[in-house]
Amino acid sequence: MMLRRDRLSLDDQIRLEAALRDAFAPLRARRAPLSAARVRAAVRWEAPPPPRLGGLALVGRLGELSTVMAVAAIVFAGALAPALPTSHEQEQELVAPVLVPLNGGPSLNDPATYMRWLRLGRSDPQDDLLDPATGMRRTVLGTDGPLAHERQGLAIKP
C-alpha cells in the first residue's frame, strides 16, 4: 500500500486544525473598538458626488456667464474711455468756468464783489471786461433780458 504525497492523515489533519484554532483563539477574542457613530461620521463626511447639470442648472450657468461677460465688457470699456477722442461738447464741458477779472476791473477784495463773482460767475454785470477765453457766454448767464410777452406782463390780453 502506498501513501499519496498530497494526502494528510486524518490524525494529522485533526491535530493541525486543533493547533490552528488554538493559535487563532487570542485573535478570535479580539473586539473592534469601534462604534457605529464612526461609520456614520465617515459616511457624512465623504465628499458628495458632483451634481448633475440639469436644464435649470444650465440656464443658471448661462446667466452667470452672461453676467460675467457684461461686467467684463463694462470694465474694459471703462478702462479704454479716457484714451478715446472726445467730442467738442465734451471739451466744452471740461473747460472750467473760471471768470477772472481783468486788470482794471472791480477788485475781489470787496466781499460783496467776491461773493458775486463766486456765486454768479461774474464779477460785474458789465461783462465786457471779462476775458473772452475763459468767460461764459451771456446766454448761459441769462443776460439776454425778458421776452416781449414777459416784458408786457399779464396786463396785455390777446
For the chain, how many residues are written? Answer: 158
The DSSP output letter for 130 is B
Binding mask 25-44 for another protein (x = CB under 8 A): xxxxxxxxxx-x-xxx-xx-
At CA 147, angle to CA 113 and CA 153, rounded to 5? Answer: 100
Q: Are 139 and 145 in contact (CB under 8 A)?
A: no
Binding mask 46-65 for another protein (x = CB under 8 A): x-------------------
Round to whole Å and give the CA distance between 42 and 156: 95
Nearest to another protein of 18, 95 (CB atom): 18
Q: Are 102 and 131 in contact (CB under 8 A)?
A: yes
Nearest to another protein of 20, 74 (CB atom): 20
Select the span of 3-11, 56-64, 100-108, 118-126 touching another protein (CB under 8 A). 3-11
Nearest to another protein of 28, 137 (CB atom): 28
| Residues forming a β-bridge with 130 | 101
Which residues contact another protein (rule: CB under 8 A)? 1-6, 8, 12-13, 15-17, 19-34, 36, 38-40, 42-43, 46
